[in-house]
């Protein structure tokens, strides 16, 4: 019988998290994944014979609560691994290195003044991050709601803010919307440090250091995990996290089908209106369910699977106009040997190529007009150092997030445009890794356009929907769908396009499951 | 030694408004001005015999009508004349004409895009809704959200109620509007690039943001929330130039017994035992007062006119970090005749109103890209107005003067500081651009004055020549303006206040900052308070 | 100083557009009483409001509807797109039929009303009083095969209304016009030339027998001439906006700006209306597939609208222009307001449309009427009687075939 309590569309980490919670709560759950691997953008796939990589290449705020609730440790996932150093590369080898977990991290390569300032800055941001922390794993109240219970969440936030004290609270409200550049300029002298610290607030968005309103919130969001925003690679790599999630799901009774592309969310109509009763696959196979939970992006969910004819016109418009275009390309290199970075013994950190804020700003300027950056900026990880299974023995994989590469190229993403981008990226890396070209066995660059095609994410945006201010909290993805339920009864969202947002965290999956269970009881 | 009740530093329109309300309450007030003339950036100056330029600000829309009426500014000579007709030029000289008649304006817009002509109705209604809400806050002192004082809590609840009244959809749209870019906001309404670009221009004027920068949608609103005679977004000219506004307020101020001293630049604010007690002038004279009010921008006030040691810890740094970026230039030109623009019918209204040399969304953004790199664009956004076509008092009969506002112009160039040669080169880009839209324009030039941020700062004292006395981004708006904790016009030193556009509600010649500051001073001094809290017009 | 002719040339761009019939209709506008509709120069009246009113009620009159907005909605998905946008079930509409309908926002607030003509299997014409292209384009998003074309400037249209209209059209040579039933349309050759396709629909905004004529702009004047020649002995005359305002009120038809605010153009969301408030609940079909605003409208239907548009017959002859309504003579409690009002010359009554709080509909309704007598203001408190039927609905309006006048 193809009948379930819950069908989850998309076997990415949020889909698995949500499904597992619901299965533990007694639901008969089916997870449908379009590709042959689970994990979505965190799936590990072979890009050259013997070489594997995943689009998401580090962890920085995976929820410890989710890990505990789903007993991921017993399925082989260890959240407490080694932190990765953040390295701002300098062609002369004068790197700025930030190493260790959040508060206990050590900063080197900057002046004593900057190092001192950094401690203050880190503590201030930590206090701000702590204010927001409880709200990432909570359903946001609906805007304009007159319900006392819903507004309690606002009251709670108000109290948390007040508890900061008058000075910090005032500062919080100022800093929250500050462009990254201003916050950095206020605190530091070292351009490399400024660029390094801004990086996490900017990556993934159509924003640059001078863009106001959202980047600091994005930084605070990333500081929500137990590692306060520091990056790490779990033992066995990202694929171990997906394996553990799969293990936990299966152990909880979740049924998983891969290579099962959902074509349509079936909608049933009666006098009272519409409701969903299942999904239809590309193959024509039909699965029925009491509820359908979509872990894929809001645009695909509503515009492609539900269909505009079942939705309201302005709602469709709000979904359509979401800022969803990705600006990050993914580079995978299969290397014959460990590359030698100028001034680094072992490249086991997260290496950022952006030696000043203007380098990021100017890279962004090209992308605004639909061109790939002439001088791209990027972060590089060698994941094969912590997970040797990703490459043949003695060989390595280089994985890089490259900014800014627009989803829509003004002339279309032709092979020529892609080759040009690839060459520019390798040129940029070569300045820091002079022998890189000799070591490349194979290389691929995935533009956001490719990510869209290969991973079924609209706009190729890792966060499904940009983390801009008007698309965060109770406005994510839009006010009618911010509490995980949608205008279609029985249809829920649990992907990165919902609060709290993208990144390997598990927040949306967790929150959606809680909300569904609350409705059930 | 005479001791004034209040000394106000800077005879700009806000300083004079502040003085007028204080004097009206019976205080003995002195306004100090470093220049030989009053007005700050709202001035009329005869820089060429026979021609009177509004050499800095050049149009009025936001001047609070409650203040206009309350201080009886008409009696003191102020007449605001709305002007008609506006042209927006695209990259290739194509003209988007905005006529004052709604039906005709609709027809013209429809020629560019029937979709946009229809959307314009919704756009206007939405903007009116946003403006109504903001307008209500202009003449109110921002609450301190960190305070537990009944007044602050009451004010916060009032605001929450006003917002909640919008309903969920509008509240959502409002929050989106507030944080988004002008381009993205307009993309929701318009499909024609010229229409979009034309509507986006208020979003960049005076600000160091581009049309693609989040936050520029609010700047757009800031420029169109004026309500000249109840016509939302209407702009007018002050008869006799913008100096007429300052002069009228000065007239009211003097009538209430206020005193003005010109050529009296302030060197330092005197602080004793943590209290402001007076000022030292540049000539060394010391003047004393119970209250010192600075109408200078926040950065200048704290970093130039005060000793760091007189300030509580952290304030000096806050002032240094205050964002007050120079991003605009101004060119004032005396003309021997009325310039003729391309692609226009021979219509006196459309020829003599405003010519906005817009280009496109992308050319505006590229001009911003130049600014970011410390350069001025050779294709800047220029907004020209010919006040003499409406005002018979500012140029000889048959002659004209043109005000050109230029966005962007960097305060410092990447290749070093400004020099007269570079300033002239900047002026030439503007003239060249106008010439492209008005062949023969150059031959009409009798005199011309080019102002980069340096000239604006040197004359008016605005740091970096920022026309708003500080960027209008959320981190510096409302209860964050100028700094969190100091948005209620009281400054960290006792008996010291601020009344300039660095305070809520910001720049735009509204006079609201000066009035709001007077309200707080009078509350502290327990004096009768006549500062209005509401606007004149009902919604 | 420029000569007058130079001035005209310079300001040509400042002038309102002229309709396709303007060269003829302007000759009738002896009073130069022009108003504006959608950017067009539009007659408030031509000669005399009462005269034109009685042309419609007594003989026949023409009303220039060129400024009305006309859209073609075509393609395989046209029906699906339209059906999702409007509140009535379009799928039931047959080719050659017209229907009156409205479309609403997501929140169920009325954006505009209009008529839809089913021109062919995948082809519709939608008309509306105000431009709506932006909304239609929004509504067309997501449908693979639908095209919205603004035909407003490309179709000349004229309403032809009054008891003698069928007779005149017969005289004009439209064979079989008498078999054209209400809410149907058909094509006729103009002056016997089959290239000059004249579309005639038996529709109108007067509550009387009448037709609307649609033709390519190049034949507009030929149509006018043929019609005026045929109507010469039937007192044919153009009527303007003011006469239309009268006849439509007698028929109980609503107008934007009076009975309702177009929801996309209101500054305050509570200032717009739902179809239920406008007594147009019959236009909302909950049995059809999903349509915009359905959820909100279902809720509105269940709770009942806060206000309801009603027809009132008011005591006396003083027009209750802009009047407040009360639940008793003491004028203590506002229960509504008048939206349109007039003295009806045909029914000899003081009639009005009014928005009244639904819960007060069962009780008494009183109007507070201010009027002036030789510049002196007077107040009159008048009793209002609720009417459920249109004030004017003669049998001839819907007669098949039309009765002899």
* pLDDT for res A227: 85
Does pLDDT of B230 surpass 80? no
Please indicate, yes or no, whether residues A208 and A264 belong to a single structural domain of this protein: no
Nearest to B107 by CA among C284, C17, C69: C17
Q: What is the DSSP letter of A356?
A: S
Q: What percent of chain C has pLDDT over 90?
A: 94
- Given a contact cutoff of 8 angstroms between Cβ atoms, the answer to whether A290 and A30 are in contact is no
* pLDDT for res B349: 84
Residue A91 phi, psi (nearest 5): -60, -25
Report residue B309 as tokens.
């040691």
A102-106, A165-169, C2-6: segment of lowest average pLDDT: C2-6
Q: Is C28 helix (H, G, I), strand (E, B) or coil?
A: helix
Report residue B507 as tokens.
């720049």
CB environment A295-310: b (16+ within 10 A), e (fewer):
bbbbbbbbbbbbbbbb
Q: Where are the beta strands (DSSP E) in B205-346?
A: 227-228, 231-232, 236-238, 259-261, 266-272, 275-281, 286-294, 328-335
* pLDDT for res A149: 82
Alpha helices in A456-496 (DSSP H): none
* pLDDT for res B431: 97
Tell me: cis bond preceding C196? Omega within 30 of 0 counts: no
- Given a contact cutoff of 8 angstroms between Cβ atoms, the answer to whether A40 and A13 are in contact is yes
Q: Which residues, in sequence order, are bridge partners of residue C384?
A: C314, C365
* pLDDT for res C297: 97
Paired sense of beta strands C307-314 and C236-238, if any = unpaired
- Provide the phi-psi class of B164: left if phi over 0, else alpha when psi is between -120 and 50, else beta: alpha
Burial class of C231 by CB neighbour count within 10 A (0 to 12, 13 to 18, 19+): buried
In a domain, B93, yes or no: yes
Q: For C77, which residue in chain A has the nearest alpha carbon?
A: A309
Q: Which residues of chain C are within 8 Å of residue A274 when distances are taken between CB atoms?
A: 290
Nearest to C210 by CA among C107, C336, C56: C56
Query: Cα torsion for C131, C137, C138, C143, to the nearest 10°?
Result: 150
Confidence of residue C1 (pLDDT cuts 50, 70, 90): very low
* pLDDT for res B44: 97
A508-517, B127-136, C139-148: segment of lowest average pLDDT: B127-136
Top CATH class, C306-390: mainly beta
In a domain, B51, yes or no: no
* pLDDT for res B538: 56
- Given a contact cutoff of 8 angstroms between Cβ atoms, the answer to whether A254 and A29 are in contact is yes
Does pLDDT of A235 surpass 90? no
CB environment A29-44: b (16+ within 10 A), e (fewer):
bbbbbbbebbbbbbbb
Please indicate, yes or no, whether residues B227 and B256 belong to a single structural domain of this protein: no
Q: What is the DSSP letter of A454?
A: H
Does pLDDT of A34 surpass 80? yes
In a domain, B131, yes or no: yes
- Given a contact cutoff of 8 angstroms between Cβ atoms, the answer to whether B16 and B73 are in contact is no
Nearest by CB to C105, which of A274, A314, A316? A314
Please indicate, yes or no, whether residues B440 and B475 belong to a single structural domain of this protein: no
Q: How far apart are CA A477 and CA B178, in angstroms?
A: 17
Please indicate, yes or no, whether residues A213 and A318 belong to a single structural domain of this protein: no
Q: Which residues of chain B are within 8 Å of residue C107 when distances are taken between CB atoms?
A: 169
- In DSSP notation, A135-192 reads HHTSPPPPTT---HHHHHHHHHHHHHHHTT-HHHHHHHHHHTT--HHHHHHHH---HH
* pLDDT for res B85: 82
Mean model confidence pLDDT for chain C: 96
Please indicate, yes or no, whether residues B280 and B347 belong to a single structural domain of this protein: no
Q: How far apart are CA B505 and CA B487, in angstroms?
A: 10
Mean pLDDT of B224-238: 80
User: Tens digit of pLDDT for each residue in B198-213?
Assistant: 999 999 999 999 999 9
Please indicate, yes or no, whether residues A178 and A242 belong to a single structural domain of this protein: no
Paired sense of beta strands A29-32 and A255-257, if any = parallel
Q: Which residues of chain B are within 8 Å of residue C150 when distances are taken between CB atoms?
A: 114
- Given a contact cutoff of 8 angstroms between Cβ atoms, the answer to whether A205 and A465 are in contact is no
Does pLDDT of A45 surpass 60? yes
In a domain, B532, yes or no: no
Q: Which of residues 5-64 of C touch B (CB under 8 A)?
A: 6, 9-17, 36, 38-40
CB environment C160-189: b (16+ within 10 A), e (fewer):
bbbbbbbbbbebbebeebeebebbbbbebe
Confidence of residue B322 (pLDDT cuts 50, 70, 90): very high
Q: Which residues of chain C are within 8 Å of residue B101 when distances are taken between CB atoms?
A: 14
Please indicate, yes or no, whether residues A265 and A316 belong to a single structural domain of this protein: yes
CB within 8 Å: B114 and C131: yes
Mean model confidence pLDDT for chain B: 94
Does pLDDT of A521 surpass 90? no
* Sign of the alpha-carbon dihedral angle for A469, A472, A473, A478: positive
Query: Between A and C, how many residue pairs show a Cβ–Cβ distance under 8 A?
Result: 47
Q: For C302, which residue in chain A has the nearest alpha carbon?
A: A272
Separation in Å, CA of C131 to nearest CA in chain B: 6
Nearest to B240 by CA among B390, B429, B356, B119: B390
Please indicate, yes or no, whether residues B64 and B89 belong to a single structural domain of this protein: no
Nearest by CB to A212, which of B147, B213, B321? B213
Query: Between B and C, how many residue pairs show a Cβ–Cβ distance under 8 A?
Result: 75
Q: Which of residues 358-377 of C touch B (CB under 8 A)?
A: none
User: Tens digit of pLDDT for each residue in A351-384?
Assistant: 999 999 999 999 999 999 999 999 999 999 999 9
Report residue B438 as tokens.
């008005």
Paired sense of beta strands C307-314 and C376-387, if any = antiparallel
- In DSSP notation, B294-309 reads E-S-HHHHHHHSS-GG
Q: Which residues of chain C are within 8 Å of residue A308 when distances are taken between CB atoms?
A: 84, 141-143
Does pLDDT of C215 surpass 90? yes
User: Tens digit of pLDDT for each residue in B380-402?
Assistant: 999 999 999 999 999 999 999 99
- What's the distance, Cα to Cα, between the start and end of chain A in Å? 26
Does pLDDT of C52 surpass 50? yes
B97-111, B252-266, C314-328: segment of lowest average pLDDT: B97-111
- Total length of chain C: 405
Confidence of residue B533 (pLDDT cuts 50, 70, 90): confident
Alpha helices in A165-305 (DSSP H): 166-175, 180-187, 191-202, 215-222, 237-251, 298-299
Q: How far apart are CA A364 and CA A379, in angstroms?
A: 15
Q: Which residues of chain B are within 8 Å of residue A174 when distances are taken between CB atoms?
A: 475-476, 480, 483-484
Separation in Å, CA of A473 to nearest CA in chain B: 12
Mean pLDDT of C363-385: 96
Please indicate, yes or no, whether residues A211 and A309 belong to a single structural domain of this protein: no
Report residue C119 as tokens.
């021109």
What total of structural domains would you count in chain B? 3
Q: What percent of chain A has pLDDT over 70?
A: 100
Sketch the domain layout of chain C as residue ranges: 13-68+154-251, 69-150, 306-390
Q: For A314, which residue in chain C has the nearest alpha carbon?
A: C106
Q: How far apart are CA A404 and CA C275, in angstroms?
A: 49
In a domain, B362, yes or no: yes
Please indicate, yes or no, whether residues A267 and A207 belong to a single structural domain of this protein: no
- Which CATH number is associated with domain C69-150? 3.30.70.1400
Q: Which residues, in sequence order, are bridge partners of residue C210?
A: C161
Please indicate, yes or no, whether residues B64 and B158 belong to a single structural domain of this protein: no
Instruction: Give chain A's largest Cα–Cα span.
Output: 71
In a domain, A131, yes or no: yes
Residue with tokens 């799969």: A246
Burial class of A393 by CB neighbour count within 10 A (0 to 12, 13 to 18, 19+): exposed
User: Tens digit of pLDDT for each residue in C286-319?
Assistant: 999 999 999 999 999 999 999 999 999 999 999 9
Q: How far apart are CA A433 and CA A428, in angstroms?
A: 9
Q: What is the DSSP letter of A300?
A: I
Please indicate, yes or no, whether residues A266 and A290 belong to a single structural domain of this protein: yes
If one counts every other C-beta atom within 10 angstroms of the C-beta of residue B393, the result is 12
Q: For B189, which residue in chain C has the nearest alpha carbon?
A: C134
User: Tens digit of pLDDT for each residue in A437-494?
Assistant: 999 999 999 999 999 999 999 999 999 999 999 999 999 999 999 999 999 999 999 9
CATH number assigned to the domain comprising residue B372: 3.30.9
CB environment B421-445: b (16+ within 10 A), e (fewer):
ebbeebbebbbebbeebbeebeebe
CB within 8 Å: C264 and B107: no
Q: How far apart are CA A402 and CA B400, in angstroms?
A: 54
Please indicate, yes or no, whether residues A249 and A206 belong to a single structural domain of this protein: no
What total of structural domains would you count in chain A? 2
Please indicate, yes or no, whether residues A139 and A215 belong to a single structural domain of this protein: yes
CB within 8 Å: B122 and C269: no
Mean pLDDT of A191-195: 97
- Given a contact cutoff of 8 angstroms between Cβ atoms, the answer to whether B487 and B479 are in contact is yes
C13-68+154-251 is a CATH 3.40.50.150 domain: no
Report residue C257 as tokens.
């700006």
Tell me: cis bond preceding B529? Omega within 30 of 0 counts: no
Its domain, for residue B128, covers 121-233
Q: How far apart are CA A397 and CA A391, in angstroms?
A: 6
CB environment B495-505: b (16+ within 10 A), e (fewer):
bbbbbbbbbbb
Its domain, for residue A138, covers 108-189+200-222
In a domain, B530, yes or no: no
User: Tens digit of pLDDT for each residue in B479-513?
Assistant: 999 999 999 999 999 999 999 999 999 999 999 99
CB pairs under 8 A, 24+ apart, for C394-399?
Answer: C394/C208, C396/C163, C396/C208, C396/C209, C397/C182, C397/C207, C397/C208, C397/C209, C398/C182, C399/C209
Last residue of a domain, one of B202, B233, B264: B233
Q: Which of A144, A267, A313, A316 to mutate to test the interface with C (most CBs of C within 10 A)?
A: A313
Report residue B342 as tokens.
């391309």
Q: What is the DSSP letter of C290?
A: P
Separation in Å, CA of B213 to nearest CA in chain C: 26
The three-state DSSP-derived secondary structure of A395-433 is CEEEEEEEECCCCCCCCCCCHHHHHHHHHHHHHHHHCCC
Q: How far apart are CA B513 and CA B504, in angstroms?
A: 6
CATH number assigned to the domain comprising residue A305: 3.50.50.60
CATH number assigned to the domain comprising residue B502: 3.50.50.60
Mean pLDDT of C96-101: 98
In a domain, B388, yes or no: yes
CB within 8 Å: A144 and B212: no
Residue C122 phi, psi (nearest 5): -120, 35
- Total length of chain B: 539
- Given a contact cutoff of 8 angstroms between Cβ atoms, the answer to whether C303 and C276 are in contact is no
Query: Between A and B, how many residue pairs show a Cβ–Cβ distance under 8 A?
Result: 105
């Amino acid at each position: 019988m193809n009948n379930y309590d819950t069908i989850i569309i998309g076997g990415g980490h949020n889909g698995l998290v949500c499904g597992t919670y619901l299965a533990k709560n007694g639901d008969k759950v089916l997870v449908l994944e379009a590709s042959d691997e689970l994990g979505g953008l965190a799936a590990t796939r072979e890009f050259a014979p013997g070489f594997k990589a995943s689009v998401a290449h580090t962890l920085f705020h995976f929820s410890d609560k989710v890990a505990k609730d789903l007993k991921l440790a017993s399925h082989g996932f260890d959240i407490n691994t080694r932190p990765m150093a953040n390295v701002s590369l300098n062609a002369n080898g004068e790197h700025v290195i930030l190493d260790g977990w959040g508060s206990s991290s050590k900063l080197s390569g900057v002046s004593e003044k900057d190092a001192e300032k950094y401690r203050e800055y880190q503590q201030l941001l930590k206090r701000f991050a702590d204010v927001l922390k409880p709200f990432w794993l909570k359903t946001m109240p609906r805007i304009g709601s007159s319900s006392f219970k819903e507004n309690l969440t606002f009251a709670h936030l108000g109290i948390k803010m007040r508890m900061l004290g008058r000075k910090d609270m005032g500062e919080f409200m100022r800093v929250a919307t500050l462009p990254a550049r201003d916050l950095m300029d206020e605190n530091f002298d070292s351009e490399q440090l400024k660029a390094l610290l801004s990086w996490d607030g900017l990556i993934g968005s159509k924003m640059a250091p001078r863009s106001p309103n959202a980047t600091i919130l994005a930084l605070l969001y990333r500081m929500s995990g137990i590692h306060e925003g520091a990056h790490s690679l779990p033992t066995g790599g990202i694929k171990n996290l997906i394996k553990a999630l799969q293990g936990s799901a299966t152990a909880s009774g979740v049924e998983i089908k891969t290579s099962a592309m959902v074509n349509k969310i079936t909608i049933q109509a009666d006098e009272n209106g519409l409701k969903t009763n299942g999904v239809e696959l590309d193959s024509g196979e039909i699965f029925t369910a009491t509820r359908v939970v979509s872990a894929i992006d809001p645009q695909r969910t509503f515009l492609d699977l539900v269909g505009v004819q079942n939705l309201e016109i302005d709602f469709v418009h709000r979904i359509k106009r979401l800022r969803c275009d990705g600006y990050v390309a993914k580079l995978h290199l299969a290397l014959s040997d460990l590359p030698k970075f100028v001034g680094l013994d072992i490249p086991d950190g997260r290496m950022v190529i952006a030696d000043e804020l203007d380098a990021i700003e100017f890279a962004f300027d090209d992308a605004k007009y639909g061109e790939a950056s002439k001088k791209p900026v990027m972060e590089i990880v060698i994941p094969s150092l912590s997970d040797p299974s990703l490459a043949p023995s003695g060989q390595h994989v280089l994985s890089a997030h490259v900014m800014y590469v627009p989803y829509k190229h003004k002339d279309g993403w032709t092979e020529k445009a892609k080759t040009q981008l690839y060459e520019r990226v390798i040129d940029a890396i070569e300045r820091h890794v002079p022998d890189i070209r000799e070591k490349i066995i194979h290389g691929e660059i995935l533009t956001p356009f490719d990510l869209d095609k290969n991973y079924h994410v609209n706009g190729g945006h890792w966060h499904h929907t940009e983390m801009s201010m008007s698309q965060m909290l109770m406005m994510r993805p839009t006010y009618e769908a911010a509490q995980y339920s949608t205008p279609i009864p029985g249809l829920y969202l649990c992907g990165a396009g919902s609060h709290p947002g993208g990144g390997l965290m598990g927040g949306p999956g967790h929150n959606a499951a809680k909300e569904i269970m609350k409705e059930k009881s | 030694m005479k001791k004034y009740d209040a000394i106000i530093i800077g005879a700009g329109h806000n300083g004079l408004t502040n003085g007028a309300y204080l004097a009206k309450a019976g205080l003995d007030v002195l306004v100090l001005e470093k220049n030989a003339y009053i007005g700050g950036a709202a001035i009329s100056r005869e820089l060429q015999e026979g021609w009177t330029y509004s050499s800095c600000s050049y149009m009025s829309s936001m001047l609070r009508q409650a203040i206009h009426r309350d201080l009886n500014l008409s009696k003191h000579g102020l007449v605001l004349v709305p002007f008609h007709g506006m042209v927006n030029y695209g990259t290739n000289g194509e003209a988007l004409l905005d006529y004052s008649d709604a039906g005709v304006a609709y027809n013209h817009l429809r020629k560019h895009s029937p979709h946009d002509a229809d959307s314009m109705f919704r756009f206007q209604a939405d903007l009116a809704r946003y403006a109504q809400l903001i307008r209500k806050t202009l003449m109110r002192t921002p609450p301190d959200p960190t305070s537990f004082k009944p007044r602050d809590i009451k004010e916060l609840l009032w605001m929450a109620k006003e917002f909640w009244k919008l309903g969920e959809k509008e509240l959502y749209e409002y929050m989106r509007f507030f944080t988004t870019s002008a381009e993205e906001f307009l993309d929701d309404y318009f499909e024609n690039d010229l229409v979009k670009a034309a509507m986006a221009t208020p979003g960049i004027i005076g600000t160091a943001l581009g049309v693609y920068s989040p936050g520029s949608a609010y700047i757009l609103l800031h420029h169109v929330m004026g309500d000249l005679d109840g016509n939302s977004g209407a702009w007018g000219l002050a008869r006799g130039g913008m100096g007429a506004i300052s002069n009228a307020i000065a007239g009211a101020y003097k009538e209430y017994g206020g005193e003005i001293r010109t050529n009296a630049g302030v060197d330092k604010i005197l602080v004793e035992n943590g209290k402001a007690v007076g000022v030292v002038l540049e000539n060394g004279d010391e003047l004393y007062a119970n209250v010192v009010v600075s109408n200078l921008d926040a950065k200048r006030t704290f970093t130039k006119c005060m000793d760091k040691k007189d300030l509580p810890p952290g304030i000096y740094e806050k002032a240094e970090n205050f964002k007050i970026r120079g991003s605009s230039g101004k060119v004032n030109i005396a003309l021997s005749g009325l310039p003729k623009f391309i692609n226009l019918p021979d219509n006196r209204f459309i020829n003599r109103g405003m010519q906005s040399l817009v280009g496109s969304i992308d050319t505006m953004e590229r001009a911003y890209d130049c600014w970011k790199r410390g350069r001025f664009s050779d294709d800047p956004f220029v907004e020209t107005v010919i006040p003499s076509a409406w005002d018979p008092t500012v140029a000889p009969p048959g002659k004209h003067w043109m005000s050109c506002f230029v966005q962007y112009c960097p305060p410092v160039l990447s290749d070093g500081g400004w020099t007269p040669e570079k300033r002239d080169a900047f002026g030439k880009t503007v003239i060249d651009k106008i010439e492209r839209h008005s062949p023969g324009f150059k031959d009409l030039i009798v005199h011309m004055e080019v102002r980069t941020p340096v000239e604006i700062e040197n004359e008016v004292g605005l740091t970096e020549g920022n026309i708003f006395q500080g960027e209008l981004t959320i981190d510096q708006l409302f209860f964050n303006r100028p700094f969190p904790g100091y948005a209620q016009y009281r400054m960290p030193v006792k008996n010291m206040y601020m009344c300039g556009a660095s305070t809520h509600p910001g720049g735009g010649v509204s006079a609201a900052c000066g009035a709001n500051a007077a309200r707080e001073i009078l509350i502290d001094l327990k004096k009768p308070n006549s500062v209005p809290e509401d606007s004149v017009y009902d919604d | 100083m420029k000569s007058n002719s130079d001035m005209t040339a310079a300001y040509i761009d400042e002038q309102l557009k002229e309709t396709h019939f303007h060269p003829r209709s302007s000759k009738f506008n002896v009073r130069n009483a022009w108003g504006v509709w959608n950017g067009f120069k539009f007659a408030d009246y031509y000669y005399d409001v009462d005269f034109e009113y009685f042309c419609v009620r007594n003989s026949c009159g023409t009303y220039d509807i060129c400024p009305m907005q006309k859209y073609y909605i075509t393609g395989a998905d046209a029906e699906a797109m339209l059906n999702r946008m409007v509140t009535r079930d379009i799928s039931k509409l047959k080719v050659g039929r017209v229907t009156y309908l409205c479309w609403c926002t997501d929140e169920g607030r009325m954006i505009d009303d209009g008529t839809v003509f089913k021109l062919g299997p995948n082809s519709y014409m939608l008309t509306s009083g105000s431009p709506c292209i932006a909304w239609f384009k929004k509504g067309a998003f997501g449908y693979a095969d639908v095209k919205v074309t603004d035909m407003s400037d490309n179709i000349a249209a004229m309403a032809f209304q009054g008891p003698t209209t069928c007779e005149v059209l017969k005289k004009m040579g439209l064979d079989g016009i008498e078999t054209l039933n209400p809410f149907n349309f058909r094509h006729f050759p103009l002056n016997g030339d089959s290239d000059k396709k004249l579309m005639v629909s038996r529709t109108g905004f007067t509550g009387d027998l009448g037709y609307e004529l649609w033709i390519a702009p190049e034949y507009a004047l030929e149509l006018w001439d043929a019609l005026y020649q045929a109507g010469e002995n039937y007192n044919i005359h153009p009527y303007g906006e003011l006469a239309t305002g009268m006849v439509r009120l007698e028929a109980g038809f609503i107008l934007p700006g009076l009975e309702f605010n177009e929801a996309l153009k209101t500054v305050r969301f509570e200032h717009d209306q739902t179809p239920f408030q406008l007594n147009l609940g019959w236009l909302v079909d909950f049995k059809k597939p999903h349509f915009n605003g359905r959820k909100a409208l279902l809720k509105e239907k269940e709770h009942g609208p806060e206000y309801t548009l009603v027809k009132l017959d008011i005591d006396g002859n003083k027009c209750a222009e802009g009047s407040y309504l009360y639940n008793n003579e003491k004028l203590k409690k506002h229960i509504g307001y008048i939206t349109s009002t007039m003295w009806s010359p045909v029914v000899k009554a003081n009639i009005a449309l009014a928005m009244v709080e639904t819960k007060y509909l069962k009780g008494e309704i009183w109007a507070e009427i201010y009027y002036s007598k030789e510049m002196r203001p007077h107040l009159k408190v008048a009793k209002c009687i609720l009417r459920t039927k249109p004030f004017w609905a003669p049998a001839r309006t819907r007669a098949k075939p039309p009765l002899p006048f």
